[in-house]
Structure 1
Amino acid sequence: MLDTYARRLIDPPLNAAGRRVARLGITPDQVTLAGLALGLVAAATIAAGAPHWALVPLLASRLLDGLDGAVARATRKSDYGGYLDIACDFLFYGAVPLAFVLADPEANAVPGAFLLASFYFNGTSFLGYAILAERHGMETAAQGSKSLYYSNGLLEGTETILFFVLLCLLPESFPPLAWTFGALCYATAALRLLAARAIFAERTRRR
C-alpha cells in the first residue's frame, strides 16, 4: 500500500547511486546477493538474541535491494536478474520470522508458524497474479520499473520492512505483532484473489 509513495521518494537518489555503482563495474546480481547476505546476517543476529544490533544489516540489506534495480536500469535489465531479486527477497522475508522463532521457540513458535504460512500464501498469490498478468500483456510502473508485474495490496515491501524494524525494536512483542501482521497478509492475499477473479475473468471473456 505504501510502495508507490515510497518509490517517489527513494527512486531519484537510488537511480543516481545506481549510475555511480554501475560505473565501478559492479553488476546488479552482485548487489542483489550482497543484499541477501546482509539480510541473512541480520537474521542470524536476531537468532543469536541481539535484535537491536540486527537493525543495521537489515536496513543495509533493504537499501541494496533497492539499489540493484537502479544499477540494472543504469546498465541492462535482465529476466534472470528480476528472478534472482524476487527469490532473494522471499528468502529474506522468511529468514527474519524464523530467526525470532529460533531466538525464543517457547514464546514465538506458534505465532511464527502462523506468520510464515501467511507469507507463503501471500507470496503465492503475488507470483500467480504476475504470471496471469504477463499472459494478458498487462504492465505496471506504480512500484517502479520491474521485471515482473507487481500487484498492489494492503501489505507490500515497505510495510514488511517497517514491520521487521518494529520487531527488532520490540522483540518481546513478537507474538501479538506476528498474529496481527499475519492476519493482514492473509487478507491481502484473499483480496488479491478476488481482484484476479474479476480482472482476468473479464479479460478472458473479451478474447
Structure 2
Amino acid sequence: MFDSTLRPKLDPLLERLAATIARAGISANQVTWAGLAIGIAAAGAIAAQFFWLGLVLVLASRLCDGLDGPVARIAGKSDYGGFLDIVLDFAFYGLIPVGFVLADPQANAVAGAVLVLSFYVNGASFLAYAIMAERHGLEGQSHGEKSIFFTTGLAEATETLAVFVLMCVFPQWFATIAYVFAAICFYTALSRIVLAARTLR
C-alpha cells in the first residue's frame, strides 16, 4: 500500500548508493544473492532468539533488495535478474516466519504456518495477475521501473517489512501479529481476484 508513496522519496538515496556499488564492479545479481544470504542469517538469529540482531539483519537484507534494481539500471538489466529478484524475495518472506517458529515452536508454529500460507496465496495472486497483465498489454509505473507488472495492495513490501520489524521488537506478540497480517494478506489476494475479474475478461 505504501510502496508507491515511499519509493520516490527513497530512490535518490538508493541510486547514489547503487552508483557506488556499480563502480566497485558488484553486479545486481550479486546484490540480490547477498540480500538472501543476509536474510538466512536473520532467520538464524531469530531462531536462536537474538531478535535485535535479527532485526538489524532483516533491515540489511531489505536494503540489498532496494539496491539491486538501481544497480541493474546502471550496469544493465536482464530478465534473469528480474526473475532472481522475485524468487529470492519470496524466499526471504518465508524465512523470517520460519525463524520465529523455530524460536518457539509451541507458541508460534500454527500462527507461522497460517502466515506462510497467506504469503503463498498472496504471492500466487500477485504473480498470476502479472502474467495476465502482460498478455493484456497492461502497464504500470506506480512502483517504479520493474521487470513485471506490480499491482497495489494492502500487503506489499513496506508493510511486510514493518510487520517483521514489529515481530523482532515484540517477539512475544508474534502469533497475534502473524494472524492479523495473514488476514491482510488474504484480503489483498482477494482484492486481486476481484480486480482480475474486472479487468481481464
> Which range, TM-score by smaller chain?
over 0.9
Q: Does 1:3 align with 2:3?
A: yes
Instruction: State the partner residue of 1:130.
Output: 130
Equivalent-residue separation in structure 2 for 1:142 and 1:77 (angstroms): 19
Match of 1:160 in 2: 160
Offset of 1:75 from its aligned partner? 1.7
- Give yes or no for the alignment of 1:199 onto 2:199: yes
CA distance in 2, matches of 1:106, 1:10: 39
Give the secondary-structure state (helix, strand or coil) at the position aligned to 2:148: coil
Partner of 1:184: 184
- Which residue in the other structure is 2:18 paired with? 18
Q: What CA distance in whole angstroms lies between the structure 1 residues aligned with 2:72 and 2:135?
A: 24
Cα distance between partner residues in 2 of 1:51 and 1:139: 40
Give how far 1:34 is off.
0.5
- Deviation at residue 21 of structure 1 after TM alignment: 1.2
CA distance in 1, matches of 2:197, 2:16: 39
* Alignment map for 1:65-104 (pairs within 5 Å): 65-104=65-104
Distance in 2 (alpha carbons) for counterparts of 1:10 and 1:95: 25
1:149-199 residue CA offsets vs partner (Å, 9 max, x unmatched): 111101100000000000000000011111100011000000111001101
Query: How many positions carry a matched residue from both structures?
Result: 201
Q: CA deviation at 1:23?
A: 1.4
Give distance in 2, aligned partners of 1:39 and 1:85: 13
User: How far off its partner does 1:50 sit?
Assistant: 1.1
Structure 2 alignment gaps of length 5 or more: none
What is the rounded CA distance, in whole Å, between the counterparts of 2:6 and 2:38 in structure 1? Answer: 22
Equivalent position of 2:63 in the other structure: 63
Deviations 1:33-83 (A, max 9, x none): 001111110010001111111111110110010100010111211110000
Task: Output the amino acid matched with 1:154.
Answer: L
- Aligned mates of 2:41, 2:144 — CA distance in 1: 27
Match of 1:116 in 2: 116
Partner amino acid, structure 2, of 1:86: I
Identity of aligned residues (%): 53
Shift of 1:137: 1.4
Q: CA deviation at 1:18?
A: 1.2
* 1:8 Cα offset (Å): 1.2
C-alpha distance in structure 2 between counterparts of 1:111 and 1:66, whole Å: 28
List structure 1 segments (4+ residues) > 6 angstroms apart after TM superposition.
Answer: none
Separation in 2, partners of 1:109, 1:20: 42
**1:91 maps to amino acid:** A
Q: TM-score, normalised by structure 2?
A: 0.98
Partners of 1:9 and 1:55 in 2: CA distance = 23
SS of 2:142's equivalent in the other structure is coil
